[in-house]
Structure 1
C-alpha cells in the first residue's frame, strides 16, 4: 500500500505521463500486471531518504523508461493529499469493528518481535499504555498480535478484564483501526498506515524504534502538521530494555510537544543530509547514463 501511495505521488508530480504497474492488492481490487522483462531497469528506489519531489524532477528531466520500487519508502512527506488514498483504499461500512468514542484502540505489535529480532521494532513497554490511559481518561481496547507470550501474559495481568478485539484477518484489523476515533499505534508500519488513513479524532504515537527520529533518522513517520496526532516520548532506557523489562515505569513516558518533535525531525534531516544527497545524485547519474 505504501509503495503504491508513493508511486501515485510520483505520477501526480511528473509533467509527462507515468504508468504505475506491477502491484497486486486484491483486498482493494487494485492490480496492474508486470509488462515483461523488456521493461525492467537498473534504476531502483528503496531508501527512506528518497524525496518524491526530487525524484519527479529527475524523471521530468531525464525521462527514464522504467524505475523499480524495491522497498517501502517510509516518509510521510512523500504521500501528498491523504483524501486520494482514502478513496483508493476505502473503508466500507461492513468492514472492521466499531469502537466506542469513549475508548482508545491500542494496537499491539508482538508476533515475530515478541523476542529480540529487529532493533527498530518490538512491543512497547506496558507502562506506556497505563500512562496513555491516565493521560486520555479513555477505556483501553486492544487489537493486534495478541497470541500467547510472556508480554501478553504481563499485559493481561496489568489490564485485567480488558477487551481484546479483532484477529479474524489482517485486513479486518486494519479496517477496525481505521474505524476507531482514538488510536494508539504501536511501533509498526501496519498500525501507523491504518491510523494515517483513518478519520480518527486523536492518534497517539510513541517515539521509539522506527517512529523515533533519534533512532531512525532515515525514516519520517511524524505528520507534524496533522492536528490529530499526539506524540509521546519513550525513554531510551525503556526502549533498550523492552525485552528484559516489559513493564518499565510510567516515568519513562511523557507527552512531547509538536515543537520538540519538529526539533528532532530537523536534527534527523541534518544527520542524513549527506547520505540523502548521495542517494539522489546516484539516481540522477544512473538516469543520465542508463
Structure 2
C-alpha cells in the first residue's frame, strides 16, 4: 500500500494525454505507448485515446500548460528519460504525440486487455487455413513510400509451400487494379466479406496461421494472436535497412517466419505494379539470427 493510501489520502491523478493521429493501427500504438508511460508513473491515467471501435473515449482533463510535460517525436523515445524528466520537474501531466512502432516498448500481457474484442463475432480459422491480410486502398498511389503492397508471387509461395487453404481478408473488395487482379488470380480462394477494421482484427487475432501485410494494424492483430505461425514480410516499414527507427521484428518469438524483400521504396510506378502482378522472386526466407543481425547492423550504422 502506498503511504498516501495508508494515511487515508488520495493520490494526485496524473493525466497522460494522447494526441491521436492517423488511422486505427497507429492510434492503437499511440494508446499503447502512453499506457507504457503510465505504468511507470504512480497515479497516472491515460486520456484521449479516441478509439470508439474499442470503446476507448476521446476527451482530456483540464491541465495547466505550465505544468504539462510535452513530448513529441516519431518512433524512437527514451521512456526512462521521459519518466525521469517528469519526476524531476514541476510537471503534473504529460501530453504525448508520436507513433512509437517499436516492439521493445510493449508486452503482450498488458497490451492484450487494452483492446477487448471478445464480443465481436469474427470467425476462427483453424489448422487447415492460411489467413492472408491485404493492405491496398490508400497505399496504391505511392504516397506512402514505406508501405508496399505485396507481390502475388509471395502469396503463391506461401500457399504452395504450406499446402493450406488461403483466406484473404482486409482491403480486398475495393475497385482498383490490385484488388481486381487479386480476386481473379485467386478466384478459387475464400475472400472474407467486407467488414469493419475491428472485425478483421479479430479474424487475425483468432487465426492459427497468418500472413501479415506491411501494416501496423495487421502487425498488431498478428502479434496479439494465439497463432502457431505468422509470416512477416521484411519490407518497407518492417525492413531495418529502410526504416531503422522502426522495429517490428519479434526476434525469438518462434511463431514468426521472416521473408526478406529487396524492393526499395514504393512509388507506384508501372514497373513496380508489373512486378506485383507478374514478377518472380526478390524475396527470400531468413532466420531469426539473420533478422537479428539485420537489426544490429542498422543500429551500429
Q: Same fold (TM over 0.5)?
A: yes
Give the aligned partner of residue 141 of structure 2: 115
- Which of these two proteins has the greater Rg computed from alpha carbons? 2
Other-structure match for 1:58: 85
Unaligned runs of 5+ in 1: 272-290
Q: Match of 2:118, SS?
A: coil
Contact kept? 1:116, 1:243, Cα under 8 Å:
no
Which position in structure 2 is the counterpart of 1:280?
none
Deviations 1:210-268 (A, max 9, x none): 11111111111111122211111112379675334223544322211101110111123
Match of 1:283 in 2: none
- Are the aligned partners of 2:131 and 2:169 in contact in 1 as well (CA < 8 Å)? yes
Q: Which of 200, 210, 227 is the aligned partner of 1:200?
A: 227
Q: Report the counterpart of residue 182 of structure 1 in structure 2.
A: 209
Corresponding residue SS for 2:158: helix
Calculate the TM-score normalised by the size of structure 1: 0.84
Listed as ranges, the gaps of 5+ residues in structure 2 are 1-27
Map residues 193-272 of structure 1 onto 2, 5 A cutoff. 193-236=220-263, 242-271=272-301
Tell me the number of residue pairs that the alignment of Structure 1 and Structure 2 aligns: 269
Considering Cα pairs closer than 8 Å and 6+ residues apart, tell me whether 1 or 2 has the greater RCO.
Answer: 1
Partner of 2:118: 92
Candidates 40, 62, 68, aligned match of 2:95: 68
Deviation at 1:32, TM superposition (A): 6.2
1:166–1:173 contact (8 Å) kept in structure 2: no
**How far apart are 1:19 and its partner, in Å?**
2.6
Q: Relative to structure 2, which stretch is displaced further, 39-48 or 252-261?
A: 39-48
The Cα of 1:200 is off from its aligned counterpart by 1.0
TM-score by structure 2 length? 0.81
RMSD (CA atoms): 2.3
Q: Is residue 129 of structure 1 aligned with residue 155 of structure 2?
A: yes
Instruction: Give the whole-Å Cα distance in 1 for the aligned partners of 2:183 and 2:47.
Output: 45
3-state DSSP class of the match of 2:277?
coil
Contact kept in structure 1, 2:63 and 2:93, CA below 8 Å: no
